[in-house]
Structure 1
Amino acid sequence: MIDAALNGAVVFAKNVDRLTAFYRDAMSLAVTHEEPGLAVLEGNGVQLVLHAIPPHIADTFEIADPPVAREDTAIKLFFRVADFDAARTAAAAHGGRFDPPEREWGARGFRACEGVDPEGNVVQIRTPAD
C-alpha cells in the first residue's frame, strides 16, 4: 500500500523502465508499483514517482548517450546512499553516472557527489561525513 503521507517527487521520463532500473539499483529504492508508463519507488522515507512523458512530447526531443546534464532546471534530487562506489557502479550499468571520488565534497555533516540519471536529470548522492 502506498502511503500518501510520504515525502517525494515526480520525475517525468522519456524511458520509465530505464529510469526505474537506475533509481532502484543506484539509490537502493524498492519498486512498490509498476504499470505501463508509471513506476513508484520508495525507500528512506521518500517516494519517487516516475511518470512517462506523453509520446507526442517525448517524440520532440532526444536523450544523448551518454546523457548531458540538464542543469537548466530549478530542482535537483538528492538521495542518501550507503556506498558511493556501489552507487557509481549501479548508475553506470543503467546509463547514468556520478563524478569520481576526487570531485566529492562535504557540508553540514555529509559527503556529497554529483551525477546524472540516464535522461540527464542532475542527481546528488550523500553519505554521513566521517
Structure 2
Amino acid sequence: MSAPVAFGSVVFAKDVERLARFYEAVLGLQVLHSAADHWVLRANSGMELVVHSIPPAIAESFRISTPPERREDCALKLFFPVPSLAAARARARALGGDLLGPEREWEMRGFRACDGHDPEGNVLQLREAGLPA
C-alpha cells in the first residue's frame, strides 16, 4: 500500500541545500529526502515543502544579491505557522532571510502574522497562534 499524498508546495532555488536548511530551521520541518536537485521537508501536520533546483540555464541568468531582493511581484505568497515570531525572525536573519520587525506584525482570527523572505528573496508569511479569535 502506498503512502497518502500530502498537501504541499514547491519552492525553486538556486542553492537547494541552503534554502532547504533555512526552511528546516525556521519552520522546524523534518527532512524526508535530500538529493542534489531537491529536498523534501515535512511538517508535523503532514504538509510537505519541496525545495527544487532551478534549471541551470535559468539559474545562470540571474544573481541573488546579499541581502536578497524581495521578489514581491510574485503571484503567490506561502504562509507557515511558527511557535514564536521573535524566534523565527532571529533564525531567519541568521540564515540569510528576514522577517519584518515587530512593528510590522498584525493580528486577526487568533494569530499574529508578519511578512518576510527567504535567503533567495521568495516572499513568505509566518503566523504565530495563540491570540483570542
Q: Percent of aligned pairs with the same residue?
A: 50
Secondary structure of the corresponding residue to residue 72 of structure 1: coil
Tell me what 2:13 maps to: 13
Q: Shift of the alpha carbon at 1:129?
A: 4.1
- Give 4+ residue runs of structure 1 displaced > 4 Å after superposition: none
Tell me what 2:55 maps to: 54
Letter in 2 for 1:124: Q
For residues 61-119 of structure 1, the C-alpha deviation after alignment (integer angstroms, 9 at most, x for no partner) is: 00111011101111101100001111111111210000111110012221101000001
For residues 33-76 of structure 1, the C-alpha deviation after alignment (integer angstroms, 9 at most, x for no partner) is: 00111100000331000100011110000011101110111110
Tell me what 2:66 maps to: 65
Secondary structure of the corresponding residue to residue 120 of structure 2: coil
Q: For the residues of structure 1 that align with 2:3 and 2:19, how far apart are their CA atoms?
A: 22
The farther-off stretch of 117-126 and 3-12 is: 3-12
**Number of positions where the alignment pairs a residue of Structure 1 with one of Structure 2:** 129
Which segments of 5 or more consecutive residues in structure 2 lack a partner in the other structure?
none
